[in-house]
């Protein structure tokens, strides 16, 4: 087993932090680079769900059935910028081409394996970091206002059955026994039995960073300006400093395709932009877990900062100006139905979730550059897959066998 390498990890979201921590724990000297404090970009804004059940990718057969309505651009759970779709028409058509039963099953099996090892590792790291108060074992409640919506969801349940996701279905009179703070507008609900959650994703990332630094890891808040490989890797920072490394891990989320492009790679990436807004809890019973209102198209997640309302998907350019319509609609609906209080922040937060055309992350060796490792494209479930991805990267850098079959995640599945 090869040990003691100098490794640079580019990207300080939860995926990059986990890659840095696991690689450091494997015996290597690791430097983590991000322009911001780690965990304050896309990883900051999620529902705090540590899932082993999010196995159904967005581009599944049900998407094709719903496409005529979605193209009207009126769904709160899915919005798009028509100019973006035209600009990325090739990507959009390829994305839709993966919406088959065969590909959905392939993705579900791959995601389940990665999320299972990630959830186990999250629990171990949370205990090691001494932040057990962040962990919530009640994790993921999907609610349905209409019987027809639940019937349509049955296709997802069939796929979850196939890959071994455990869940329980509840009727209307049972739902408020589990979540008395909910309005009685739901006729069905599905509880993901093994899914967990955290009450502050940013603090979770902070805790992992502390573990990393305590074990000898280095964090640099700087932007990468150039990446070259001449007798070893050189990572030039905007400050002018040049770091040398034996190996480089590219885990920069929505910016990964741009950086990989410096070396000639064409990564088929777009962005599922998303928003959140914290509300005051209100006077009713507090929520005990994240609630995904399927018909409403948003999630209500109890956090330390308040009740976080997270939106569905918005397809647009990574750096396009924010469009707060989804967040505003979601907040208005949540307040009217559930008695939640006023928004805490002046405006919503926005993040950019990197998505590849098959909705699977790219994890493993870069095809043409020895010592370069890809770890990105985790779409909207990076929190649920970060530790498992990190374990894979650490094993590969160390010359060991990966803990799962990484064939579905290899870069070579695309002509990059």
pLDDT single digits (tens) 359-411: 999 999 999 999 999 999 999 999 999 999 999 999 999 999 999 999 999 99
* pLDDT number for residue 358: 97
Is this prediction's pTM over 0.75?
A: yes
pLDDT single digits (tens) 68-103: 999 999 999 999 999 999 999 999 999 999 999 999
Q: Give the strands of the sheet with 233-237, arranged side by side.
A: 224-229, 233-237, 242-245
Q: What domains are there in the chain, each with its CATH number? A: 6-413 (3.50.50.60)
Taking the CB of residue 141, how many other CB atoms lie within 10 A of it? 25
> Rounded to whole angstroms, how far apart are CA atoms 246 and 248?
7
Q: DSSP characters for 237-277?
A: ETTS-EEEESEEEE--GGGHHHHHHTTT----EEEEEEEEE
Which residues partner with 313 through β-bridges? 78
> Rounded to whole angstroms, how far apart are CA atoms 247 and 227?
12
pLDDT single digits (tens) 160-202: 999 999 999 999 999 999 999 999 999 999 999 999 999 999 9
Q: How confident is the model at residue 1 (pLDDT cuts 50, 70, 90)?
A: very low
* pLDDT number for residue 3: 55
């Amino acid at each position: 087993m090869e040990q003691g390498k100098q490794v640079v990890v580019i990207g300080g979201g939860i995926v990059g932090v986990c890659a840095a921590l696991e690689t450091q724990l494997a015996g290597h000297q690791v430097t983590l680079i991000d322009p911001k404090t780690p965990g304050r970009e896309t990883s900051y804004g999620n529902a705090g769900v540590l899932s082993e059940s999010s196995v159904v990718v967005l581009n599944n057969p049900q998407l094709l059935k719903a496409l005529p309505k979605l193209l009207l651009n009126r769904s709160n759970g899915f919005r798009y910028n028509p100019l973006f779709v035209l600009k990325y028409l090739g990507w959009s058509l390829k994305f839709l081409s993966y919406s088959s039963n065969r590909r959905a099953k392939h993705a579900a099996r791959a995601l389940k394996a990665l999320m299972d090892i990630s959830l186990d590792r999250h629990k171990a790291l949370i205990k090691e970091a001494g932040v057990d108060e962040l962990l919530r074992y009640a994790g993921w409640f999907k609610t349905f206002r209409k019987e027809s919506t639940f019937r349509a969801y049955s296709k997802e349940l069939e796929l979850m059955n196939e890959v071994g996701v455990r869940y329980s279905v509840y009727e209307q009179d049972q739902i408020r026994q589990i979540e008395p703070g909910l309005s009685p507008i739901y006729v069905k609900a599905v509880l993901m039995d093994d899914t967990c959650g955290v009450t502050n994703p940013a603090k979770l990332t902070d805790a992992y960073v502390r573990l990393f630094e305590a074990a000898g890891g280095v964090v640099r808040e700087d932007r990468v300006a150039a990446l070259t490989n001449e007798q070893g890797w050189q990572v030039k920072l905007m400050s002018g400093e040049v770091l040398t490394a034996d190996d480089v891990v590219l885990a920069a989320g929505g910016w990964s395709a741009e950086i990989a492009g410096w070396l000639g790679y064409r990564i088929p990436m777009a962005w599922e932009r998303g928003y959140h807004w914290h509300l005051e809890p209100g006077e009713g019973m507090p929520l005990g877990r994240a609630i995904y209102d399927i018909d409403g198209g948003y999630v209500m997640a109890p956090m330390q900062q308040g009740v976080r309302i997270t939106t569905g998907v918005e397809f647009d350019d990574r750096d396009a100006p924010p469009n707060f319509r989804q967040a505003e609609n979601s907040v208005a609906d949540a307040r009217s139905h559930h008695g939640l209080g006023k928004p805490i922040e002046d405006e919503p937060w926005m993040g950019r979730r990197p998505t590849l055309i098959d909705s699977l992350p790219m994890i493993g060796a870069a095809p043409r550059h020895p010592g370069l490792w890809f770890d990105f494209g985790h779409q909207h479930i990076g929190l649920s897959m970060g530790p498992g991805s990190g374990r894979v990267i650490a094993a590969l850098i160390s010359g060991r066998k990966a803990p799962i079959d990484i064939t579905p995640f290899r870069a070579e599945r695309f002509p990059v």
